[in-house]
Amino acid sequence: MPEVQIEIGGRRFEVACQPGEEDYLISAATALDAEASNIGQHLGRLSESRMLLMAGLMLADQTGNFKDKLAKSDADLTAARSEISKLQAQLVASPLSGNENEELSSQFEKTLSDIAEKSEQLADKINAS
């Protein structure tokens, strides 16, 4: 089991993790250290345990906010997919001329492209956190 050296609040720790999770552990430790440093700057001198408690709570709050945003994005994506399905059904059943059909197809493709782009942006934000 690999061991990773991390630094939080100016102290070094050696922590074991599963193989392949080293980068994730370093990233998590870096986020905790940054949050602890931020709290130390704003609240002054705190005990180590109090500072880490506050930093953990702040990170948990941020995680909760990301989960809420992700749930809303999932709901929006589900609604968009439903709308796309309705539009596809209308397009198939529509007695439109070739030009009108092409215009709807173009709008449909743009909608799909917009959804894909927004999904990628959301994934990038989540991965960056």
d(CA 21, CA 61): 23
d(CA 107, CA 83): 13
Domain ranges within the chain, ordered by starting residue: 66-129
pLDDT, tens digit, 9 for 90 and up, residues 60-112: 999 999 999 999 999 999 999 999 988 888 877 776 555 666 777 788 888 88
Give which of 114, 35, 119 is closest to 70, Cα–Cα: 119
Give which of 108, 103, 116 is closest to 87, Cα–Cα: 108
Q: Write down the pTM of the prediction.
A: 0.57
pLDDT confidence of residue 15? 94
d(CA 6, CA 26): 6
